[in-house]
Amino acid sequence: MSDAVLRAGGVDAGYGALQILFGVDLEVRQGEHVLVFGPNGAGKSTLIKALFGLVKPSAGHVTLAGRDVTGRAPEGMVAHGMAYVPQVSNVFGSMTVLENLEIGGARLSRSRREARIEEMVALFPVLGDRRKQSAGTLSGGERQMLALARALIPEPSVLLLDEPSAGVAPKIVEEIFHLVSGLRRTGVSVLMIEQNARQALPHVDRGYVLEGGAVRMTDTAASLLDNAEISKLYLGG
């Protein structure tokens, strides 16, 4: 019996008459970190949106902790333990770091919200130094830390990340992946969409190659990195 906390089975999805995903099967197990990668236009962002309820699947199903959540609105996904950090517009730039974190804990009691904020500051110490600073003035790496922290405050069981290295200076990209890898100690399962697959794979357990809206291959991260064909076609080497 699988211990998958998130599963997609035979998912078709798209935008109106334009179908993007074709029978996608995918799972993320408890505490596991999984990467989805592939060429531009493969359907990666559509997949993560379908999992989070931003795009409604036209066929197939999505289950979260064994519960069928297919087609639920994002707020329903959040209520059942899923969090999502989009590629862009993932912080409120006109608000302070602290105000952003408080929004992440809006559903919690005041005491629990304050406790979780302190836990996030311990996890991302730079945010403690920037509490009163406008989020719009943060560096790209700091903004990603804030987006991660805010998503983690409600203690989700699954965290969806869409291109966490986007908009981050090249010298900070590896740091971002280390931060994501460090989330293992929180127990959260992670599904990450990332174009920079060669750098991301060493920080995850398994990967899925998505091309043409379908899963072409899945394997352990180590095996995908060692696969000459995968390297040539999808890893830039």
pLDDT of residue 91: 93
pLDDT, mean of residues 168-178: 88
- Provide the mean pLDDT of the chain: 94
pLDDT tens, residue by residue, 200-218: 999 999 999 999 999 999 9
DSSP H helical segments within the chain, as ranges? 44-52, 74-79, 97-104, 110-123, 125-129, 140-152, 170-182, 197-200, 221-226, 228-234
DSSP per-residue codes, 152-218: HTT--SEEEEE-TTTTS-HHHHHHHHHHHHHGGGGT-EEEEE-S-HHHHGGGSSEEEEEETTEEEEE
Residue among 2, 4, 14 nearest 63 (CA): 4
pLDDT tens, residue by residue, 47-66: 999 999 999 999 999 999 99
pLDDT, mean of residues 119-146: 93
Q: Listing from the earlier edge strand, what are the strands of the sheet with 214-220? A: 82-85, 158-162, 189-193, 33-37, 206-211, 214-220
Tokens of 49: 């949106």
Distance CA 52, CA 224 (A): 26
Indicate yes or no: pTM above 0.75: yes
Query: Taken in order 176, 7, 28, 73, is the CA torsion positive or negative?
Result: positive
- Asked whether the predicted pLDDT for residue 1 surpasses 50, the reply is no
Confidence of residue 28 (pLDDT cuts 50, 70, 90): very high
State the greatest distance between any 2 C-alpha atoms of the chain, in Å, as a whole number.
Answer: 52
pLDDT, mean of residues 136-142: 91
Q: Side chain identity at 133, as an amino acid letter?
A: Q
Residue among 13, 141, 5 nearest 81 (CA): 5
Q: Listing from the earlier edge strand, what are the strands of the sheet with 59-64? A: 18-29, 4-15, 59-64, 67-68
* Residue 163 φ/ψ region, left for φ over 0, alpha for ψ in the -120 to 50 degree band, beta for the rest: left
Cβ neighbours of residue 117 closer than 8 Å, sequence gap 6 or more: 98, 101, 102, 105, 153
The CATH architecture of the domain made up of 4-234 is 3-Layer(aba) Sandwich (3.40)
Distance CA 221, CA 53 (A): 27
On whether the CB atoms of residues 173 and 16 are closer than 8 A, the answer is no
Q: Side chain identity at 5, as an amino acid letter?
A: V
pLDDT, mean of residues 85-107: 92
User: Tokens 């211990």 sit at which residue?
Assistant: 3
pLDDT tens, residue by residue, 150-162: 999 999 999 999 9
